[in-house]
Amino acid sequence: MELRPATPDDAPALALFARNAFHAAFGHLYKPADLAAFFADARSEERYRADIADPAKRIQLAIEDGRIAAYALIVLGEGIAERPAPQPVRPVFLSQLYCARETTGKGIGAALLDWAIAQAREWGADAMQLSVFSENFGAQRFYRRHGFDHVADIDYWVGDHRDDEFLYELRL
């Protein structure tokens, strides 16, 4: 496995991987119109091109056998406003961390999370935040094993569908 930053040339493959990974994990929860709207907005090639070009965002890819096996996207200086006080002063938001199903349990997600935390510390963040679906118990266990705490309940929108999410935070 190779970890490397995403480049503009990766945007088409990244968008396809991101849509497939989200659909595999959560697609059954949504109406087709809501999922299509979410993909068009949040998982499009254009969105990833913009994210790759944005100096406040970083995307790390895990490449296995020449293909994307997982990725992480962080946003420097962004946190979740719904977090109860005290708010972090310099948060980093782990916006996305997805692994292909067949790679689960191989340590790829942990390697990407380690990368994200290292990037946050290098940037001088005082906390890393992320949201996790309230019924994604495996992800919740994963983040707790890595020192994250549940600090708030928040909403997450996929099209017109609202999900119950948990805000997790790691103080740095």
What's the pLDDT score for residue 45?
A: 97
Residue 22 has pLDDT above 90, yes or no: yes
pLDDT in tens, 88-106: 999 999 999 999 988 888 8
> Looking at residue 77, what DSSP letter applies?
T
H/E stretch holding 121: helix 108-123
CA 14 to chain centre: 13
Q: Is the pTM of this model over 0.85?
A: yes
* End-to-end Cα spacing for the chain: 27
CA 136/CA 49 separation, integer angstroms: 28
Let me know the angle formed at the C-alpha of 58 by 142 and 1, rounded to the nearest 5 degrees.
60
Confidence of residue 159 (pLDDT cuts 50, 70, 90): confident
Q: Which residue has the tokens 């994307």?
A: 68
CA 98/CA 76 separation, integer angstroms: 19
In order of start, what are the domains of the chain with their CATH numbers?
2-171 (3.40.630.30)
User: Beta strand pairing status for 91-99 and 67-76?
Assistant: antiparallel
